[in-house]
Every structure is written in C-alpha cells, then in structure tokens.
Structure 1
Amino acid sequence: MEKLNKEDIKKLLPHREPMLLIDELKDIKKLFSATGVVAVKKDSFFVDGHFPDQPVMPGVLIVEAFGQTAAALTAHGIDKETYENKLVFLMGIEKARFRNPVMPDCKLELKIEAIRSHGRVWKYKGEAFVGEKKMADAQWSATIVDRK
C-alpha cells in the first residue's frame, strides 16, 4: 500500500512545526481510509506544560491529529487541480472518547475512515492506538474551503 512521509504531507497540508503532528500516512485506500502516525517524543512541544511531572499528550491534540490525518487522506485522494488553492477545515467533533493517556516516547497510530461525503463536506471516524491498546476514538466532519 501507498505511504507518505512528512515531506509529502507538507505538500498536502498547510500545517508546519510544531503544529504538523502527523509524521507519516500509511495504509492509504484512496478517499476511504488511512493510518496517520504521530511520533510522540519526550521533547514534544506540549511535554513541559502538560503535565510537568507526568506528561501526557493533550486530548485536543489527538483530535487535531485525527483531523490532519483525514485532511491528508482527502487532499491526497482528490484531483490535484480540484484541490489546488483549497484547505480542509474541521467543522465538528462528535463522540470523542479518551480511553487511555498517551505518554511521550511512543508511536500513536490513528486509523481513520471516511464515512461519507456530500459536496465539500466530509464525515470521518477514527481510532487511535499505541500498539494494540486503544487510546481514543472520535467522529468528526470537515469541509473543503477556498484558500484566501
């Protein structure tokens, strides 16, 4: 299956360090599903403040990583001319659950699936894992908008 590295992802998303969270996109099934990989490091930007004595990846960043994975899947799958000068914006988050804390020094894998699309609006679902352990899951929607 196809795989994208961080440089490939930068060509699809406007995010840059430190907010570009996904390091790899793998197991890509065009416009249907993919797995985003986040290397949660001991020197990640949130570690010093969340929480100093027992750092964990904030849930909001897990949701952001879900969104980035979905945006990269969508941007990679649609026609390049159609996506030129467009962005994928998060519209809503549903049913987000955080089941286990994500600690630094791990690989977080976000398995996402596009549930449906209607015009520029897409709906997704995803599950986040460290190894075999489920860390979080969510459903969310996003839209493709014109870049200003």
Structure 2
Amino acid sequence: MIAEEMLANRKPWILVDKVIEWKEGDFLVAQKNITSSDFFVQGHFPQRSIYPGMLLVEGAKQSAELLLIASGYERQEFQLTELKAKFFRPILPGDAVRFQVNWVNQEKQKGNLVTVGLLDNIVVLRCNLKIL
C-alpha cells in the first residue's frame, strides 16, 4: 500500500513515509522518519530543532485516513472531526515515529479512532478522532 497515492495531500505535506502493517477495518501502523533536512524542522527552535507538534498531529490524522481508505471508505464518505491530542515528549531529527491507529468503536459510517505515536515503543502522542 502506497500512502502517497491514497492521500489527498502531496509532497511535502505527506507526513507518513510508509505503512508497516494493517488489518482492514481494524488497525494500521504507519511510520514517519524525521530528518534534519525536512524544511519545517530547520527553523523550529534552531538551537535544538524539534519536529512541530502540529505536524505530528497531521501524521496521526493521515494515518487514520489511510486506515479508512484501506478499509473501503471513499474520501467523500468520511470527515474526521473533534480532534483531541496530547503530547508526551518532543520528537527530534533522527527519530522514527510509528503511528498506530485503532478503532475505539465503530458504527456504520461513524466511529472513533485513536492514533498513538510511538518512539521506541514509548508513547509520544495520543490523538482521538471522531468520524462523521
């Protein structure tokens, strides 16, 4: 599965590098490799560059979109709303963040998704998304 073909965004705003694992309608694990050459890292706290939190949230959202699309939803069939995010530690160049997306509950065309950002199996981000 190639994320770039499935998402509405285009480079440089595709914030998922690869899909590692997925089970249709159940879960998805994607990865984003953070590099010092990413233009949005270079000016974000120049003395100690960190990956912007909003871009972590966008990577989590794009991972959720990939799960929905890979599960047979069309882009026009869903809308991700009511985003809630919590950050637990900064992400630095050289880190590889894994986004693990799981359904919390699912009804026809509705439900809630939780995306957890992991760095070396440590939770660095948690996002809750509602699907309408």
TM-score, normalisation: structure 2: 0.89
CA distance in 2, matches of 1:38, 1:131: 13
CA distance in 1, matches of 2:3, 2:77: 13
Partner of 2:38: helix, strand, or coil?
coil
State the shift of 1:65 in Å: 0.7
Decide which structure has greater strand share.
1
Aligned to 2:82: 92
TM-score, normalisation: structure 1: 0.80
Matches within 5 A, 1:1-148: 4=1, 8-78=2-72, 83=74, 86=76, 88-94=78-84, 96-143=85-132
Cα 1:102–1:86 change in 2 (3 A) is same
CA distance in 1, matches of 2:77, 2:7: 8
Partner of 2:6: helix, strand, or coil?
coil
State the shift of 1:124 in Å: 0.5
Unaligned runs of 5+ in 2: none
Give the alignment's Cα RMSD to 1 decimal: 1.8
CA distance in 1, matches of 2:77, 2:45: 32
Q: Which amino acid aligns with 1:99?
A: F
State the shift of 1:87 in Å: 6.7
State the shift of 1:128 in Å: 0.9
State the shift of 1:141 in Å: 1.7
Work out the number of aligned pairs and report it.
132
CA contact (8 A) 1:71 1:88 kept: no
Cα 1:54–1:10 change in 2 (3 A) is same
Cα 1:87–1:41 change in 2 (3 A) is farther
CA distance in 2, matches of 1:62, 1:114: 19
Unaligned runs of 5+ in 1: 144-148
CA distance in 2, matches of 1:87, 1:43: 36
| % same residue | 20
CA contact (8 A) 1:13 1:87 kept: no
CA contact (8 A) 2:67 2:101 kept: no
State the shift of 1:136 in Å: 1.2
